[in-house]
């Protein structure tokens, strides 16, 4: 099997509500997102010599992280330059009120799970799968680095 990988970066802040250490506070990261894909059997890609065009993969990744459009799907909310919080975090409401008089509201991504790198990489894998499966492409791995030395990887592990 041949796989191809694309990387992009985005900036975001988050906090872990119940963490005992410094990550309980709002803090930011320069995230690195790496996606590895393979072609499904009878791929719909127009060029049988490619798994996927890197430009198409980049567009999908930007649609997910930067809220850009992809195909006829509505844009996904931008994670880039956002504050990522659990949907029950009271700080989401505080930030909205505190910035309401500044015109456009602050960009808050609300998750149903704590915004750990482990949970976020799993969410990204699901979003990429939803966008790439119709193109005949299968997600193999998604890695999300929040620092140069700290990351989580979602890996498609087929049962043997």
Q: Which domain holds residue 81?
A: 3-155
Confidence of residue 16 (pLDDT cuts 50, 70, 90): very high
Distance CA 131, CA 60 (A): 7
Asked if the structure places residue 65 within a domain, the reply is: yes
SS3 call for 71: coil
Asked if the structure places residue 160 within a domain, the reply is: no
The total number of structural domains that make up the chain: 1
Distance CA 72, CA 59 (A): 13
Residue 154 has pLDDT above 90, yes or no: yes
SS3 call for 91: helix
Asked if the structure places residue 126 within a domain, the reply is: yes
- Give the list of residues 6+ apart from residue 46 with CB closer than 8 angstroms, or none: none
Asked if the structure places residue 34 within a domain, the reply is: yes
Partnered with residue 119 across adjacent β-strands are: none
SS3 call for 95: helix
Distance CA 28, CA 14 (A): 6
CATH code of the domain in which 11 resides? 3.30.479.10
Confidence of residue 44 (pLDDT cuts 50, 70, 90): low
Q: What is the pLDDT of residues 126-144, one digit of tens each?
A: 999 999 988 889 999 999 9
Per-residue model confidence (pLDDT) at position 127: 92
SS3 call for 66: helix
């Amino acid at each position: 099997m041949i796989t191809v990988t694309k990387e992009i970066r985005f900036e975001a802040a988050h906090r872990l509500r119940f963490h005992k250490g410094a990550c309980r506070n709002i803090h930011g990261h320069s995230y690195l997102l790496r996606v590895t894909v393979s072609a499904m059997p009878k791929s719909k890609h127009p060029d049988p010599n490619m798994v996927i065009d890197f430009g198409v993969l980049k567009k999908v990744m930007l649609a997910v992280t930067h809220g850009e459009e992809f195909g006829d799907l509505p844009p996904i909310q931008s994670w880039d330059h956002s504050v990522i919080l659990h949907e029950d975090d009271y700080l989401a409401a505080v930030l909205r009120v505190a910035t309401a008089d500044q015109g456009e509201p602050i960009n808050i991504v609300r998750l149903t799970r704590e915004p750990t790198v482990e949970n976020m990489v799993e969410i990204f894998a699901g979003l990429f799968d939803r966008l790439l499966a119709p193109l005949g492409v299968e997600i193999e791995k998604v890695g999300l680095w929040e620092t140069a030395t700290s990351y989580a990887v979602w890996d498609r592990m087929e049962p043997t």
